[in-house]
């Protein structure tokens, strides 16, 4: 007869026990699993990406309902345990009692709540599980101010996630620097600086005196009487083993539930695993030792010999996008020496602590690529005297010529740990590859390497690369879409070098896996083809997103918006009258002034588009291309016409620029502005291309943005005359059209090719002229009003194909 | 309603829809989107995306699928089923192409209208 196993707590440690147990002998136990949370086992390490919105709960589930069902595990989720009766060998939950032969206590840990006044106010939460995460997401949706108490890993992840979601976040940390148990002061400083750059305020040596508020939290009061307003307080000062049940049951409990090396508690039929456990006076919070414990528990339950040993631990973490690593003992002390390396520009810091000719501790921040090698030195107590001079630079600088990263991975011994979370060594991955797992997904499935926190993914890929040689292709850059393996850059190179001038030619030459592409690649190909072969390739409306196909912006209810061009933001009473008449005639519900100095008619029915355009055309207005990956507007100030500060005719230049650039298609939208003086009223320095007029001429700068990213432009060139300014702007626009990836704004393109290269190209007069010529050639086709063309040639296509409403009503 | 007999009605010429394009047919209960693929197959489905009611006739047609213009849900023109990670479906209607003319089954359209 099957024995009965009852498990209290469905966290990552007990989940791993069940996996091992069911793998080894699925028939050994009849399993009942209790969990206070109303769900099963999920990857708690990944709560931070859930908080920041990169992942959803579904992405981080380890064991779903079907897994429990398939393995015959009886789940009692959302049920609290009220008592363990060791004499009767039963566990009683809120919904009834079950008997056990063996009991596994995996109650994990509870967040530590600092005992201050106001700790129970609504709006004060901890960060421990999915419910806490959801509570934070909900709170962040309302915006406002958040105070995170605790500058350890959890607190910083919470702070970064809340800041990501738009809250104004302050972190309070009791100690002198952040993450003092993992980092030394210098690394703590870099972390603090990186966080502050992300908009998170950090106050160290901050002791919380009270949490203030009437009906819910309103502020946090510090010992030094500082008051910080708060709509949300997250308490993340630490965790303690959750031992209340074990205590009540009379098990031996110190700080955690005491276990022997077989993970048995003081009652031989009761085991414990995970963060609730104390072994040899140690507590455990990282996932690697918990997984080791899980293996031991499974073996013990099956009567197999095994013993848990505490291993030397390294901490390799990614905190809010900052890489950090620490291992061993890095406190200062007598007889200890430091080797320190800093690269302030890259924000890199490395420190090695040496004692008796060996490395005993290491802290790394910003670049942790060599951390495995240093950890190896610490573990093996390697004699470092001979390589001391170059030690800090890492393994690539030992023994003469620098090695490439793959050679460094190739040089790792079989027992070098690759995946810290799951304790997977290089040898196990190599063996899995030999057994037929030849890609990352298969390695993850078979060995679990890189399946938990994922920070070793690159390393696992490198092991694949060195083991498999040429047959493994390191995934360098993303393919264009699922229709092809080629990147945007590859495809564009093919279009030019093979003179591919139609979409089917590209599909054929580049081995497309779909008959006619998809919504993602077709618009990109259409742009590349028309930009590279303006005379040979005819624009394909069916490969354009609806806005560019119908020359209007689709709205959420399926209606459209219509924006006529106002050159340089200048309009006339007659134009305004025509806009007003059109708005009334077509019953436009909303008329709005845009940020690009023109007006937007929102809520126009698709069928009415040709008619409203015709009315606007009749008043001399054309499409404003407010919908296009192309030239949008040239914003201007009034310049020398009216302004007492203006240095040049900024309005005139803006109009000239708009009249020469309009209708051109570009990789992404293109917004310009011209300011008449450095007071910059046209906000030219956050546009894709901005001109600031000065007494001596025109400063042309590029790469600004004021959307999801906010960026200031960088100076491209200063020129003396208006003609030169126009030529340089046409040239840089053409260079952008020819070399940027589709959907890269200028600043992204600039980040890839470099501002210096762009400046070099447009400064050289010959190159500039050639670029201008190619731009003008393309404009000979595209500098036209699409509205007029659609009215003339395809007005009918805007109407329904047939109207059966009358027929059906008969 | 009488027995379900096919009752094909002439809607428009095939040429009235661009290849990889679509137009709508108005019915009393909303629009039906009629698609023409690159290989001149014709499909008719409900014009309303099951996600946020996006007008499917305005989407990009690829293979025998259309991508909704609002949030890129991909819908099979043959089955009306939402593809990939998303779930849902839209109604499909029988179509025929004869002598360059597109025919729809008025019976099913009326059934829809009466439904």
Residues A451, A456, A461, CA angle at the centre, nearest 5°? 90
Closest by Cα among B99, B11, B20, B100 to B60: B20
Residues of chain B neighbouring A796 (CB-CB closer than 8 A)? 16
Cβ neighbour number for residue A69 with a 10 Å cutoff: 10
DSSP for B83-115? PTT---B--EE-EEEETTEEEEEHHHHHHHHH-
A804 and B26 in contact by Cβ < 8 A? yes
Q: Does residue A810 register a pLDDT over 50? A: no
Three-state SS letters, A305-338: CCCCCCCCCEEEEEECCEEEEEEECCCCCCCCEE
Q: What is the mean pLDDT of residues A529-542?
A: 94
Going by DSSP bridges, is the β-strand pair A168-173/B101-105 parallel, antiparallel, or unpaired?
A: unpaired
Query: Do the beta carbons of residue A592 and residue A598 sit within 8 Å?
Result: no
Q: Does residue B100 register a pLDDT over 50? A: yes
Residues of chain A neighbouring B25 (CB-CB closer than 8 A)? 800-804
**pLDDT tens profile B15-26:** 999 999 999 999
Could you give the ipTM of this predicted complex? 0.90
Residues of chain A neighbouring B24 (CB-CB closer than 8 A)? 800-801
Place A513 in a pLDDT band, splitting at 50, 70 and 90. confident
How is the beta sheet containing A74-77 ordered, strand by strand? A74-77, A29-35, A3-8, A102-105, A270-272
H-only helix segments in A438-540: 440-447, 457-468, 488-497, 503-509, 521-532
**pLDDT tens profile A627-649:** 999 999 999 999 898 899 989 99
**pLDDT tens profile B43-79:** 999 999 999 899 999 999 999 999 999 888 999 999 9
Chain centroid to CA A117: 37
A808 and B54 in contact by Cβ < 8 A? no
**Residue A400, pLDDT score:** 47
Place A403 in a pLDDT band, splitting at 50, 70 and 90. very low
**pLDDT tens profile A452-498:** 666 677 788 888 888 887 777 665 567 888 888 788 888 888 898 88
**Residue B5, pLDDT score:** 61
Query: Do the beta carbons of residue A716 and residue A758 sit within 8 Å?
Result: yes
Mean of pLDDT over chain A? 90
Paired strand residues for A83: A92
More confident residue, A747 or B109: A747
**pLDDT tens profile A668-723:** 999 999 999 999 999 999 999 999 999 999 999 999 999 878 899 999 999 999 99
Q: Which of B58, B95, B106 to mutate to test the interface with A (most CBs of A within 10 A)?
A: B58
**pLDDT tens profile A338-389:** 887 777 667 788 888 888 888 888 888 888 888 888 888 888 888 888 888 7
**pLDDT tens profile A791-804:** 999 999 999 999 88
Q: Does residue A41 register a pLDDT over 90? A: yes
Q: For residue A313, which phi and psi values (nearest 5 degrees)?
A: -115, 140
**Residue B114, pLDDT score:** 47
Place A620 in a pLDDT band, splitting at 50, 70 and 90. very high
Q: For residue A46, which phi and psi values (nearest 5 degrees)?
A: -90, 15
Residues of chain A neighbouring B11 (CB-CB closer than 8 A)? 801-802
Locate A716 and state its tokens.
């491209």
Buried b (16+ CB within 10 A) or exposed e, A618-628: ebebbbbbbbb
DSSP for A507-518? HHHTT-SSSS--
The percent of residues in chain A predicted with pLDDT above 90, rounded, is 62
Distance from B94 to chain A by nearest Cα, in Å?
16
**Residue A405, pLDDT score:** 60
Residues of chain B neighbouring A557 (CB-CB closer than 8 A)? 53
Place B92 in a pLDDT band, splitting at 50, 70 and 90. very high
Alpha-carbon torsion (A286, A290, A292, A293), positive or negative: positive
Query: Do the beta carbons of residue A15 and residue A112 sit within 8 Å?
Result: no
**Residue A805, pLDDT score:** 81
Q: Which helix (H) or strand (E) holds A97?
A: strand A96-99
B55 and A558 in contact by Cβ < 8 A? yes
Alpha-carbon torsion (A163, A165, A166, A170), positive or negative: negative
Tell me whether A795 touches chain B (CB under 8 Å).
no
Cβ-based neighbours of A577, under 8 Å, separated by 6 or more = A619
User: Quick one: closest CA in A to B49, which residue?
Assistant: A558
Eight-state DSSP code of residue A121: S
pTM comes to: 0.53
Q: Which residues of B touch A (CB under 8 A)?
A: 11-12, 16-21, 23-28, 31, 34, 38, 52-55, 58-63, 67, 69-70, 72, 74, 102, 106, 109-110, 113
Q: Does residue B113 register a pLDDT over 70? A: no
**pLDDT tens profile A742-754:** 999 999 999 888 8
User: Quick one: closest CA in A to B37, which residue?
Assistant: A516
Q: Which of B7, B49, B53, B69 to mutate to test the interface with A (most CBs of A within 10 A)?
A: B69
Closest by Cα among B39, B42, B40 to B92: B42
**How many contacts does A have with B, using Cβ atoms within 8 A?**
93
Place B2 in a pLDDT band, splitting at 50, 70 and 90. very low
Q: Does residue A197 register a pLDDT over 90? A: no
Of A120-134, A324-338, A358-372, the poorest mean pLDDT is in A324-338
Place B3 in a pLDDT band, splitting at 50, 70 and 90. very low
Q: What is the mean pLDDT of residues A107-111?
A: 92
**pLDDT tens profile A146-175:** 999 999 888 998 998 899 899 999 999 988
Place A808 in a pLDDT band, splitting at 50, 70 and 90. very low
Residues of chain B neighbouring A541 (CB-CB closer than 8 A)? 18
Q: Does residue B115 register a pLDDT over 60? A: no
Distance from B64 to chain A by nearest Cα, in Å?
10
Place B86 in a pLDDT band, splitting at 50, 70 and 90. confident
**Residue A475, pLDDT score:** 57
Buried b (16+ CB within 10 A) or exposed e, A700-724: bbbbbbeeeeebebeebbbbeebeb
Eight-state DSSP code of residue A370: T
- A320 φψ region: left (φ > 0), alpha (ψ -120 to 50), beta (else): left
């Amino acid at each position: 007869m099957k024995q009965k196993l009852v498990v209290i707590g469905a966290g990552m440690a007990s989940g791993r026990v069940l996996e091992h147990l069911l793998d080894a002998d699925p028939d050994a136990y009849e399993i009942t699993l209790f969990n206070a949370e109303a769900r099963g086992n999920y990857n708690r390490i990944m709560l931070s990406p859930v908080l920041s919105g990169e992942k959803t709960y579904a992405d981080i589930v380890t064991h779903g309902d079907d897994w429990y069902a398939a393995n015959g595990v009886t789940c009692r989720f959302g049920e609290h345990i009220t008592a363990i009766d060791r004499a009767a060998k039963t566990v009683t939950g809120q919904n009834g009692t079950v008997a056990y032969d063996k009991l596994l206590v995996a109650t994990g840990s509870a967040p530590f709540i600092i005992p201050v006044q106001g700790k129970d106010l609504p709006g004060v939460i901890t960060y421990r599980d999915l419910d806490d995460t959801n509570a934070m997401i909900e709170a962040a949706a309302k915006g406002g101010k958040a105070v995170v108490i605790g500058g350890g890993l959890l607190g910083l992840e919470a702070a970064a996630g809340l800041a990501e979601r738009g809250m104004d976040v302050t972190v309070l940390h009791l100690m002198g620097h952040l993450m003092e148990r993992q980092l030394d002061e210098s690394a703590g400083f870099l972390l603090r600086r990186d966080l502050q750059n992300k908009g998170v305020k950090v106050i160290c040596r901050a002791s919380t005196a009270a949490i203030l508020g009437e009906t819910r939290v309103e502020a946090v009061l510090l010992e030094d009487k500082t008051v910080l307003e708060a709509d949300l307080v997250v308490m993340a000062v630490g965790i303690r083993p959750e031992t209340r049940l074990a205590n009540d049951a009379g098990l031996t409990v110190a700080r955690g539930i005491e276990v022997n090396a077989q993970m048995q508690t003081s009652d031989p039929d009761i085991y414990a695993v995970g963060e609730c456990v104390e072994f040899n006076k140690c507590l455990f919070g990282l996932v690697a030792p918990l997984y080791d414990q899980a293996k031991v528990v499974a073996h013990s339950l099956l009567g197999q010999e095994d013993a848990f040993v505490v291993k030397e631990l390294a901490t390799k973490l990614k905190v809010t996008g900052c890489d950090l690593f620490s291992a061993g003992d890095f406190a200062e002390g007598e007889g200890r020496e430091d080797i320190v390396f800093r690269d302030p520009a890259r924000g890199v810091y490395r420190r090695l602590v040496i004692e008796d000719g060996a490395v005993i501790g290491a802290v790394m921040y910003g670049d942790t690529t060599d951390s495995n090698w240093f950890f190896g030195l610490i573990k093996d107590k390697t004699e470092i005297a001979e390589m001391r001079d170059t030690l800090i630079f890492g393994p690539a600088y030992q023994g003469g010529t620098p090695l490439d990263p793959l050679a460094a991975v190739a040089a790792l011994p079989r027992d070098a740990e690759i995946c810290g979370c799951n304790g997977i060594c290089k040898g196990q991955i190599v063996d899995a590859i030999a057994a037929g797992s030849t890609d990352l997904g298969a390695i993850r499935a078979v060995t679990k390497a890189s399946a938990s926190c994922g920070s070793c993914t690159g390393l696992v890929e490198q092991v694949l690369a060195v083991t498999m040689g040429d047959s493994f292709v390191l995934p360098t850059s993303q393919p264009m879409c699922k229709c092809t393996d080629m990147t945007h850059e590859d495809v564009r190179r093919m279009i030019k070098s093979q003179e591919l001038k139609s979409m089917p030619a590209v599909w054929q030459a580049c081995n497309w896996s779909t008959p006619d592409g998809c919504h993602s690649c077709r618009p990109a190909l259409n742009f590349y083809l028309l930009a590279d072969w303006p005379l040979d390739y005819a624009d394909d409306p069916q490969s354009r997103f609806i806005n560019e196909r119908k020359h209007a912006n689709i709205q959420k209810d399926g209606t459209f918006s219509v924006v006529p061009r106002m050159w340089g933001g200048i309009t006339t009473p007659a134009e305004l009258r025509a806009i007003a008449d059109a708005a009334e005639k077509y019953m436009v519900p909303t008329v709005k002034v845009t940020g690009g100095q023109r007006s937007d008619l929102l809520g126009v029915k698709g069928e009415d588009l040709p008619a409203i355009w015709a009315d606007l055309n009749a008043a001399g207005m054309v499409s404003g291309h407010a919908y296009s990956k192309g030239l949008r507007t040239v914003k201007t100030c009034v310049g020398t016409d009216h302004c007492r500060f203006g240095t040049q005719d900024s309005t005139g230049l803006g109009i000239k620029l708009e009249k020469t650039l309009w209708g051109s298609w570009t990789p992404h939208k293109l917004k310009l502005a011209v300011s008449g003086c450095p007071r910059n009223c046209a906000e030219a320095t956050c546009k894709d291309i901005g001109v600031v007029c000065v007494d001596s001429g025109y400063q042309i700068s590029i790469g600004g943005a004021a959307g999801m990213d906010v960026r200031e432009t960088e100076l491209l060139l200063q020129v003396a005359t208006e003609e030169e300014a126009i030529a340089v702007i046409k040239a840089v626009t053409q260079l952008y059209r020819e070399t940027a990836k589709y959907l890269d704004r200028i600043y992204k393109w600039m980040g890839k090719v470099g501002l210096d290269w762009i400046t070099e190209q447009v400064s050289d007069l010959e190159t500039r002229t050639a670029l201008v010529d190619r731009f003008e050639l393309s404009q000979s086709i595209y500098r036209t009003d699409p509205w007029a063309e659609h009215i003339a040639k395809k007005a009918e296509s805007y109407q329904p194909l047939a109207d059966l409403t009358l027929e059906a009503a008969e | 309603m009488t027995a379900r007999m096919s009752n094909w009605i002439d809607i428009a010429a095939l040429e009235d829809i661009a290849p990889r394009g679509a137009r709508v047919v108005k019915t009393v209960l909303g629009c039906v989107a009629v698609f023409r693929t690159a290989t001149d197959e014709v499909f008719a489905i409900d014009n309303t995306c099951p996600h946020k009611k996006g007008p499917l006739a305005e989407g990009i047609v690829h293979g025998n699928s259309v991508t909704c213009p609002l949030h890129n849900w991909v819908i099979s023109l043959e089955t009306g089923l939402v593809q990939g990670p998303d779930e849902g479906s839209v109604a499909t209607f029988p179509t025929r192409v004869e002598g360059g003319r597109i025919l729809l089954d008025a019976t099913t359209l009326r059934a829809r209208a009466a439904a």
